[in-house]
Structure 1
Amino acid sequence: MTMRLTSGRISVDGFAEAQAALHARGWTDGLPVVPPTQEAVAACLDWAMLSPDHLIGIEPVRARAITAEKAAVNAVMAGCSPQHFPVVVTALTAMLQPEFGLHGPTASTGGCAVMLIVNGPVRRELAMDATFSVLGGADRSCAVIARAVRLVLANVLDVKPGGIDRATLGHPGKLGYCIAEDEEATSWVSLGDRRLSTVQAERGQVSSVTAVASMAPRQIMNEWTTDPTELCETVAAEIRANQLHYSIWPGNYVVVLPPQLRAHFDAAGWTPDDIAGCVFERARVRRGDWADVGKGAIVKDRADQSYSALESPDDLLIVAAGGPAGGFAAVIPPWLGTRSHASTVAVGACVDCDVD
């Protein structure tokens, strides 16, 4: 039986005409898209076992609904295969959680993007590569999943530059911002399992997506020490720089640690919790420090007031990923403090279902 879809239809003569028609309607991101035929959209819905009218969620500020059918249409246009679609649905579900506060990050002049971090077996099923150029968009699955989310924001929620999206500058992550964690190359408990508090017997078996309202990556390097405390100080120094140059308020910073630096932490017996605790203590500035970066006008009589970059060590999201060589890492700052919190949802989970 043919799946009943309610989206409108347009008739075109060939691939080139489809590109022109979809672009003219403002439904693309400027790049070529895959024509969303009924068969392709239905295949995504079948794979995820979702009906076309399944409600993924409602954007709370403007009450815009995201249905499975609309998400599937945009996923197909982004280049997703049916196997990618459950991850797209999970990412959208995470973004629609109250703690994420979707309207703020997508409408702000601050110009952040939605970063997605994928954990669990689904990474292997989709051949996600968490090694070389992990932040450079070299992986097909990461690229199309992130692009699908971006197209849903634009076409369903009308988050387009100059419209709902009021970003002054933005950054390239707006085109797509998705990575997987390199769980096979580390003994650490994955970010997804830490955030979901997965019981030990099930660690590594639960697929999840974490959504974070994030600014652009800031690459750091320290090849001159193996001391874990000194490495944490390098991370904290970059976070302090962001506090001074961008926002003094605390939030979910992401730290991506490649193998070379992870090896030093492993040799010292440090876990992600140890790293987070050390960075938490060091990543803080005084309001008076703002005078040194041209912001003295807002110091006033609060020069000695201290500001931590993290409300707690748990707010630091540590991800094992990246290529094998070089003492590099990346610090990815949050959008605007606690106005948006990272949200993690298990793939296939029904967050609003009633449980008897």
Structure 2
Amino acid sequence: MLKGTKQTPQEVLMVMEPGFGLATIEKIAINAVMAGCRPEQFPVLLAAIDCLGKPEMNHRDMQVSGHTEAPIILVNGPIAEKAGINFGTTAMGPGVINSANTAIGRALRLCLINIGYCNAGAGDPNFVGLPTKFGMCIAENEAASPWQPYHMDLGYKKDESAVTVVTVTGPTTIIDPRSKNHEDTLNNISSMMFYPNAGSGNWLKGWESAQIGHTNRRIQYQGPYHPIILSPSRAVIMAEAGMSKRDAQKWLHENCRASLRSILSKGDIPTDSDGNWIHHPELQHLADNPDATIPALESPEQYLLFVTGGSTHYANFFYGTYGIATSPVEDV
């Protein structure tokens, strides 16, 4: 397994919560072997753990939360094919064709358990659990997508490989067989945002700061990123209407709205001693309008459009929670 990296066995990638375990290359390799990974898949796992170690990932809260959430791995670039990751039919499913997807996702979970000491009932207080916590690794079907791949949106080159880890709940399947145009498809996707736990409009309250590990340093939450896993045909129907990925994100941002009244009814809008909103005071005048709405998410980029799978009329919607981070994949 160690042939899958140029890094030394004792190098520490991160301190893994909640048990403060040192995630060395050697320990990660041991868990990769137990999960059934092959050496050519090891760089993907290492990049995923590098993501978890970044402050913006807020992995401590992910690990110790009672909320049902888990990290998923999104893979871009040539490493997907080199590692044998399935990005075609049943890309999110089981079976021999998905052995790499399954092994990489499972290896990450084993690291969180065995290195981070996040065991069910001891370190992991998750009340109900989530099937996604077994592990999930998805690669983008870049050849079938009409848009540039996700890692290029972040500034990577097409021939570079990158891994994104995002904490989510779900997924929820979007069945879209009757859509005749791009607006039908986008309306079906946007309907997911009205589920009560989607965090719609919570950005108005300002994102609380998260503690970084066992230190006194803190970092602001970025707000949730909602991965929308599109089949190629759903992306094509938008592209044929002249929509870029950015256009689709802007459409969702403009049309996925949250009722300001419902947000205010929950309270918790931080105010100063004079009653002025601390966050987004420029919007406080809307509080007097009972019909006012605001975007469900703060920015268009928080709708993470990722094309994978076979050609079908389905899509999957994940509700994002704590954090998101991207790391390059080591070229071995």
Contact residue 287 and residue 299 of structure 1 kept, 8 A: no
- CA deviations 1:116-163 (Å, max 9, x no partner) are 001100111122211222222341111101111000000000111112
Aligned residue for 1:69, secondary structure, equals helix
Residues 124-273 of structure 1: pairs in structure 2 closer than 5 A: 124-138=81-95, 139-195=98-154, 197-198=155-156, 202-203=157-158, 205-241=159-195, 244-245=196-197, 247-248=199-200, 249=202, 250-273=223-246
Supply the distance in 2 between the matched residues of 1:289 and 1:137 (Cα, whole angstroms).
Answer: 40
Supply the distance in 2 between the matched residues of 1:130 and 1:265 (Cα, whole angstroms).
Answer: 20
Q: Which residue of 2 aligns with 1:298?
A: 266
Contact residue 80 and residue 144 of structure 1 kept, 8 A: yes
Supply the distance in 1 between the matched residues of 2:53 and 2:106 (Cα, whole angstroms).
Answer: 17
Aligned residue for 2:190, secondary structure, equals helix
Residues 32-51 of structure 1: pairs in structure 2 closer than 5 A: 44-51=1-8
Residue 258 of structure 2: which of 275, 278, 285 is its match? Answer: 285
Q: Which amino acid aligns with 1:224?
A: R
Instruction: Name the structure with the higher strand share.
Output: 2
Q: Which residue of 2 aligns with 1:85?
A: 42
Structure with larger RCO (C-alpha < 8 A, sep 6+): 2
Change in 2 beyond 3 A, CA 1:120/1:59: same
Q: Which residue of 1 aligns with 2:212?
A: none
Q: What's the CA shift for 1:84?
A: 1.1
Q: Which residue of 1 aligns with 2:304?
A: 317
Supply the distance in 2 between the matched residues of 1:307 and 1:60 (Cα, whole angstroms).
Answer: 36
Number of equivalenced pairs: 289
Contact residue 111 and residue 166 of structure 1 kept, 8 A: no
- CA deviations 1:42-70 (Å, max 9, x no partner) are xx223212211011122477643210011
Q: Which residue of 1 aligns with 2:63?
A: 106
Q: Which residue of 2 aligns with 1:346?
A: 328
The question of 1:96 aligning with 2:53 is answered yes
TM-score (norm 2): 0.81
Aligned residue for 1:99, secondary structure, equals helix
Supply the distance in 1 between the matched residues of 2:73 and 2:184 (Cα, whole angstroms).
Answer: 29
Q: Which residue of 2 aligns with 1:331?
A: 317
Change in 2 beyond 3 A, CA 1:164/1:307: farther
Greater Cα shift, 226-235 or 182-191: 226-235
Change in 2 beyond 3 A, CA 1:299/1:237: farther
Supply the distance in 1 between the matched residues of 2:238 and 2:88 (Cα, whole angstroms).
Answer: 18
- CA deviations 1:198-230 (Å, max 9, x no partner) are 2xxx32x11111000011110112232332233
Supply the distance in 2 between the matched residues of 1:91 and 1:167 (Cα, whole angstroms).
Answer: 22
Taking only aligned residues, the RMSD between alpha carbons, in angstroms, comes to 2.3
Q: Which runs of 5+ in 1 are unaligned?
A: 1-43, 291-295, 350-356
Q: Which residue of 2 aligns with 1:23?
A: none
Aligned residue for 2:119, secondary structure, equals coil
Greater Cα shift, 122-131 or 174-183: 122-131
Q: Which runs of 5+ in 2 are unaligned?
A: 203-222, 270-286
Q: What's the CA shift for 1:284?
A: 2.3
Contact residue 251 and residue 309 of structure 1 kept, 8 A: no
Q: Which residue of 1 aligns with 2:210?
A: none
Supply the distance in 1 between the matched residues of 2:188 and 2:2 (Cα, whole angstroms).
Answer: 46
Supply the distance in 1 between the matched residues of 2:119 and 2:323 (Cα, whole angstroms).
Answer: 22
Aligned residue for 1:70, secondary structure, equals helix
